[in-house]
Amino acid sequence: GEDVEQSLFLSVREGDSSVINCTYTDSSSTYLYWYKQEPGAGLQLLTYIFSNMDMKQDQRLTVLLNKKDKHLSLRIADTQTGDSAIYFCAETSGGYNKLIFGAGTRLAVHP
Amino acid sequence: DTAVSQTPKYLVTQMGNDKSIKCEQNLGHDTMYWYKQDSKKFLKIMFSYNNKELIINETVPNRFSPKSPDKAHLNLHINSLELGDSAVYFCASSQEPGGNSPLHFGNGTRLTVT
């Protein structure tokens, strides 16, 4: 069935790199997405990767995709306090752009 | 200026009441969605419309009825509200269905049923 799994919490020191991991089940997913949710706000699209790519870099963000293991990761370089939020991984499923979300990883950045 | 806007932002009501949440997008997208986020932050799709036609209808009680008067609007009406309906409801839109375009979300409507 459709399932996306993420670890629930990650705590890092300001300036370090953060790596958020995700596993998904639908091998036919065309795109895989990372969304960020700050307290009391909606979901903001951070980045996405097409399923035939292994890596995508966008400024401080690096997405790695291991299609064989159905594993997706998001690396945030030089993590700042403003990066504190919940990060959701999502796969597309069912053909009609039905996004299946993970439970979200709560990233806490401390001085 | 806002791409996907929902109203109201907060909604507090009693069990048994009927309420509506409105959503509008000015992105020119063809597809709109309603998602529900529970207290543990778990997000689940409820409905999706493409060009005013219903294309996704997950296992949602009949008390929930979406209505899309045009491509830019997707409203959610809820009858006979129950305590378990308390959640944050997010509207979203995308250029097209099929997984080829990302979703843009509104800021959510926090529904509290007492």
pLDDT-derived band at A93, boundaries 50, 70, 90: confident
Of B100, B104, B106, the CB nearest to A45: B104
- Return the residue in B25, B40, B45 with the most chain A beta carbons within 10 A, the one to mutate for interface testing: B45
For position B99, what pLDDT does the model report?
63
Query: Do the Cβ atoms of A98 and B45 come within 8 Å?
Result: yes
Sequence-distant (6+) residues with CB within 8 A of A23 are: A4, A5, A6, A69, A70, A71, A72
Percentage above 70 pLDDT, chain B: 96
For position B55, what pLDDT does the model report?
86
Q: Where are the beta strands (DSSP E) in B1-114?
A: 4-7, 10-13, 19-25, 31-37, 43-50, 53-57, 64-70, 73-78, 87-94, 104-105, 109-113
pLDDT-derived band at A22, boundaries 50, 70, 90: very high
pLDDT over 70 at A96, yes or no: no
For position A25, what pLDDT does the model report?
86
**Of the candidates B42, A16, A55, the residue with the CA atom closest to the CA atom of residue A47:** A55
Percentage above 90 pLDDT, chain B: 74
For position A98, what pLDDT does the model report?
79
Separation of first and last alpha carbons in chain B: 34
Percentage above 70 pLDDT, chain A: 95
**Calpha distance A99→A38 (Å, rounded):** 19
pLDDT-derived band at A78, boundaries 50, 70, 90: very high
Query: Do the Cβ atoms of A98 and B103 come within 8 Å?
Result: no
Chain A residues in contact with B41 by the CB 8 A cut-off are 37, 86, 103-104
Query: Do the Cβ atoms of B99 and A29 come within 8 Å?
Result: yes
B59-84 mean pLDDT: 94
Token pair in block for residue B44: 């689940």
Peptide bond between residue B97 and the one before it cis (omega within 30 degrees of 0): no
- Number of CB pairs, chain A paired with chain B, less than 8 A apart: 68
pLDDT-derived band at B31, boundaries 50, 70, 90: very high
For position A40, what pLDDT does the model report?
83
Chain A residues in contact with B4 by the CB 8 A cut-off are 42
Chain B residues in contact with A88 by the CB 8 A cut-off are 43
Could you read off the pLDDT of A28-68 as tens digits, one per residue?
Answer: 777 899 999 998 888 999 999 988 899 999 999 999 999 99
Chain B residues in contact with A30 by the CB 8 A cut-off are 98-100
